[in-house]
């Protein structure tokens, strides 16, 4: 690896997974592209340069370029990461890129995270359940600062799917809520505006597809680009589930 100001640019080799599931002629394979490294080059810049100068057929996703939209997750040398936030200066001369596993492949590095997240949200009904009629004239309900902060932490998830791709359980159990799903469930469990009680949530989350499916490898915690407190989320869900179980006895 070289510093950003290095006079002679490194020649980088990108080995990229290529496959178009829509094309019956397409066969999964790796394709190599070479590029001179530029100062402060991100994978976003490198892939765009490859597409503009070498191969317009290369598929990958980016929108915000600033770790906000969550669309650029990919496997970078075997580890899930955001392409827009990964600098080539932090990578070796050979960079291997694969699409995130778990999600449906659209083509090359592009995957459909949206369908996975929508199904997870629908299955857990991860939205506010309330009988309160909407009153546009009402003043905002007050919320304890610490609780508001805890809910905000959960809301910082950008649904990039990196945690899901890193999760051994999500890779083998398609019904597992996954780290991002459990994080979203916890966010609504904490919310005092949601009318569901501990017993209702127990039915959603206290099972092998929920928090008790987690086998504690915690790769999700290591790869989350937003550094969400996923360990605390699982501890919260386990505590609430056990409390609900004892209350049922």
Q: Which residues bind ligand FES (CB under 6 A)?
A: 62-65, 67-72, 82, 84
- The CB-of-43 to ligand SF4 minimum distance in angstroms stands at 16
Q: Which token pair is 1?
A: 């690896």
Q: Is 31 left (phi over 0), alpha (psi -120 to 50) or beta?
A: beta
Reduced to 3 states, what is the DSSP secondary structure of residue 10?
Answer: coil
63 or 245: CB nearest ligand FES: 63
Choice between 181 and 225, CB closer to ligand FES: 225
Give me the least distance between CB of 59 and ligand SF4, in Å please.
21
Question: Beta strand 11-18 with 94-98: parallel, antiparallel or unpaired?
Answer: parallel
What's the gap between Cα 190 and its chain centre?
21
Total count of residues recorded for the chain: 249
Smallest CA-to-CA distance from 95 within 54, 53, 165, 35 is with 35
Among 35, 170, 180, 189, binds ligand SF4 (CB under 6 A): 180
Binding mask 3-32 for ligand SF4 (x = CB under 6 A): ------------------------------
Q: Which x/- pattern, by CB under 6 A, does the window 216-245 give for ligand SF4?
A: --------x-x-x-----------------
CB of 45: closest distance to ligand SF4 in angstroms?
21
Q: Residue 12 Cβ, how far from ligand FES at the closest point, in Å?
A: 19
Q: Which of ligand FES, ligand SF4, none has residue 67 at its interface (CB below 5 to 8 Å by kind)?
A: ligand FES
Q: Which residues contact 74 (CB under 8 A, 6 or more apart)?
A: 43, 60, 80, 81, 83, 97, 98, 99, 100, 109
- Give 213's DSSP letter: G
Shorter beta-carbon distance to ligand FES: residue 160 or 186: 160
- Report if residue 75 touches ligand SF4, rule: CB under 6 A: no
Distance CA 43, CA 45 (A): 5
Q: Which residues bind ligand SF4 (CB under 6 A)?
A: 157-163, 179-180, 183, 224, 226, 228
């Amino acid at each position: 690896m070289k510093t950003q100001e290095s006079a002679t640019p490194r020649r980088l080799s990108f080995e990229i997974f290529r496959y178009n599931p829509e094309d019956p002629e397409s066969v999964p394979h790796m394709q190599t592209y070479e590029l001179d490294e530029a100062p402060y080059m991100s994978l976003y810049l490198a892939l765009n340069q490859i597409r503009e100068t070498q191969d317009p057929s290369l598929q990958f996703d980016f929108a915000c370029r600033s770790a906000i939209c969550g669309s650029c997750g990919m496997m970078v040398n075997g580890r899930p990461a955001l392409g827009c936030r990964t600098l080539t200066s932090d990578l070796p001369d050979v960079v291997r890129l694969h699409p995130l596993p778990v999600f449906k492949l659209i083509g090359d590095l592009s995957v459909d995270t949206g369908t996975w997240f929508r199904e997870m949200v629908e299955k857990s009904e991860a939205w506010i359940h309330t009988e309160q009629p909407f009153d546009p004239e009402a003043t905002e309900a007050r919320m304890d600062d610490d609780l508001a902060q805890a809910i905000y932490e959960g809301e910082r998830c950008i649904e990039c799917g990196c945690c899901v791709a890193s999760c051994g359980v999500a890779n083998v159990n398609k019904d597992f809520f996954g780290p991002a799903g459990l994080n979203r469930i916890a966010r609504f469990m904490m919310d005092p505006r949601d009318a569901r009680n501990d017993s209702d949530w127990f039915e959603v989350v206290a099972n092998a597809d929920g928090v008790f499916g987690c086998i504690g490898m915690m790769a999700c915690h290591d790869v989350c680009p937003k550094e969400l407190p996923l360990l605390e989320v699982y501890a919260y869900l386990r505590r609430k589930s056990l409390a609900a179980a004892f209350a049922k006895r």
